[in-house]
Amino acid sequence: MKEQIALLLNGAIEALKAEGKLPADLEPNIQVENTRDKAHGDLATNLAMTLAKPARQNPRAIAEMILQALPASTVVDKAEIAGPGFINFFVNDAAIYSVVAEVLEQTDQFGRSKPTSDDRVQVEFVSANPTGPLHVGHGRGAAYGATLADLLEAGGMNVEREYYVNDAGRQMNILAVSVFLRYLELLGDTITFPANGYQGEYIRDIAAGLKQSQGDALQCSLDDLYLDVPADEPAGGDKELHIDGLIDRAQNILGAQYRTLFDAGLDSILGDIREDLGEFGVNYQCWFSERSLTSSGDVDEALKRLDDKGYLYEEGGNLWFKSTDFGDDKDRVVKRANGQTTYFASDIAYHMNKFERGFQTVINVWGADHHGYITRVKAAIQALGYDPERLVVKLVQFAILYRGSERVQMSTRSGSFVTLRELRDEVGNDACRFFYVTRKADQHMDFDLDLAKSESKDNPVYYIQYAHARICSVLRKLESEGMAWDQAMGLESLERLDSEAERDLVTALGKYPETVKHAAANFEPHQLANYLRDLASDYHTYYNGHKMLIDDEALRNARITLSVAVRQVIANGLTILGVSAPEQM
């Protein structure tokens, strides 16, 4: 529809140029927009206003000329000038109502675009360290990332979803030692748990599993384990040195068996995360291991490429990347004096690997606390010879958790947090998925647990699902009354739908495809969520004012046809959001 109007406008401009009424070198940017106010027609353009300056004429005068030059069209009933120079278009009812047939023909494909190129897009999201269960903060990233990926797919892109597994590094070693101590505890030792260890109950569960599979094969004496380990913080020492000492001892004592301990923690937690996300409707094409970057030689390769280009230098025994050449505040260490590469080095290799795998665009969904990291990663990408624009980082702000008016403090280390699983159990997957993406991702969000749990009926997701269920109910009722829906008759009788509510509803349906495109183009799932709420609202209004099951056969079929089209669009939209469309509530 918009395209058709734009074509008409373009025709008018060309004609005016040919007549010499507008400068021949004018390059108009034709924008056709939906009107907010029905008094302004269905569609509008600000074209005359944008041309006012380059054409050096009064906008209303230009609008007048455009109107005169506008080619005839079967779509436009009326066009008029309004306000400072808007041209408002009133679209023919038949053109507007044609969307109903379109929806019924295309069914679940309505609003979806076919891929226009072979370009592949990767969305990497959640990627939480596997040191504990996912909490509600991760939930937002999960819901946003999954919805974004589905939305981009609906928008016609080839999307792959990936989880970066941080299965290397100090945090994982701390996890291993935490499990080890709980394991020794189960074998009868009395231990003093380190201040910097992972305190959560789940550590004991992992330790129990380890004991079951390994028996006492990993047992060692506490005297041996604590040999020369610096004192912990509560004992007047340093908690970091203490835990590092324990890691060192555990590795020395267990030797090759350390891997068993380490993997027991990793496998258990990663398995739990997978299951959790799966139940949440979040699925990945790839779980990418950080450790594999080292074994595959990608880290060395990435550093070599940087070195070849002259972006590495040595200072104080460390190897530095000259990220300041690309706008970073300071240069960054990629390899320590002890020969260990840093996490940043892995990340450089990881992004190199992504591009080498052939992704045209790479989208990273990160928690807002990682924003300081963007510059250096982009610097590395650029230094490696890739266009940094091909990396898009979407920051997701924290969901601040409240119980009533009290803020809930979250810490993975201390084990005090609300897990995603707990939230899902209480609130339900549908409400969770929907609630998380109703707000713009870069907006801080308050999540009141009491409200979400106790008054879950007030959650807007039910409002949309209810509209879907209502339509299903009408169809059930229709059948039980011995009537049948005649789609062909309904489509032929659409002109009988002449009330304001009906026209509004059809107009709303027509906006679905552009809503999906717009939301995808801006990486903003909340636009789709808002659209669906508005569509449901339009339907509830309609439902309350119009009876479907009436004797007038043509009108009945027309109304049911419209309702079925609405049901289809709601279902299509909810599918993208990862929310179910129940037939009954």
Partner RNA sequence: GCGCCCAUAGCUCAAUUGGAUAGAGCAACGGCCUUCUAAGCCGUAGGUUGCAGGUUCGAGCCCUGCUGGGCGCGCCA
Q: Please give the residues from 435 up to 474 whose contact with RNA meets the rule CB under 7 A.
A: 438-440, 442-446, 457-458, 460, 462-463, 466, 469-470, 472-474
Which of 5, 16, 22, 52 is in the footprint of RNA by CB under 7 A? 52
CB closer to RNA, 236 vs 316:
316
Kindly identify the residues of this chain, within the stretch 144-203, that bind RNA according to CB under 7 A.
166, 168-172
- Binding to RNA (CB under 7 A): which residues in 359-388? 368-373
Collapsed DSSP state (helix, strand, coil) of residue 21: coil
Rounded to a whole number of angstroms, the minimum distance from the CB of residue 46 to RNA is 4
Q: What would the DSSP string read from start to end of 434-472?
A: HHHHSS-TTS-EEEEHHHHHHTGGGSHHHHHHHHHHHHH
* DSSP labels, 339-353: SPBPHHHHHHHHHHH
Tell me how far, at minimum, the Cβ of 556 lies from RNA, in Å.
9
The helix or strand, by DSSP H or E, that contains position 326, with its residue range, turns out to be none
CB-nearer residue toward RNA: 184 or 577: 577
Q: Of 142-150, 153-161, 304-312, 517-525, which segment contacts RNA by CB under 7 A?
A: 517-525
Give how many residues touch RNA by CB under 7 A: 90
| Rounded least distance, CB 566 to RNA, Å | 13
**Residues 21, 40, 390, 503: which binds RNA (CB under 7 A)?**
40
Site for RNA in 541-570 (CB under 7 A): 541, 543-549
Three-class DSSP category at 256 = helix
The nearer residue to RNA, 12 or 548, going by C-beta atoms, is 548
Tokens of 336: 């320590």
Site map 219..258 versus RNA, x via CB under 7 A? ----------------------------------------
> Do the beta carbons of residue 197 and residue 174 sit within 8 Å?
yes
Residue 441 sits at φ, ψ, to 5 deg, of: -65, -35
CB of 118 to RNA, least distance (A): 27
Kind of pairing, strands 332-335 and 32-34? unpaired
Smallest CA-to-CA distance from 75 within 556, 499, 510 is with 510
Q: Is 337 in the site for RNA (CB under 7 A)?
A: yes
Smallest separation (angstroms) from RNA to the CB of 485: 12
161: number of CA atoms within 13 Å, CB side?
A: 22
Given candidates 54, 71, 83, 297, which one binds RNA under the rule CB under 7 A?
A: 83
The DSSP output letter for 70 is P
Return the half-sphere exposure (C-beta side, CA atoms, 13 A cut-off) of residue 376.
20
Element (H, E) at 120: strand 120-124
Among 15, 82, 187, 410, binds RNA (CB under 7 A): 82
When computed from its CA atoms, the radius of gyration of the chain, rounded to whole angstroms, is 30
Please, is 86 exposed, middle or buried when counting C-beta atoms within 10 Å of its C-beta (0-12, 13-18, 19+)?
buried
Q: Six-digit token pair at 347? A: 């990340």
Which residues, numbered 390-429, are part of the site for RNA (CB under 7 A)? 395, 397-398
- Minimum CB distance to RNA, residue 217 (Å): 27
Q: Which helix or strand (DSSP H or E) is residue 542 part of?
A: helix 525-545
Nearer to RNA, 169 or 209 (CB): 169
Q: Which two tokens stand for residue 380?
A: 């590395």
Is 91 a residue that touches RNA (CB under 7 A)?
A: no
Burial class (CB in 10 A: 0-12, 13-18, 19+), 180: buried
**Smaller CB distance to RNA: residue 420 or 508?**
508
Q: Is 585 in the site for RNA (CB under 7 A)?
A: yes
The reply to whether 326 sits near RNA by the rule CB under 7 A is no
Q: Which of 4, 129, 251, 507 binds RNA (CB under 7 A)?
A: 129
Q: Which CB atom, from 49 or from 220, has the smaller least distance to RNA? A: 49
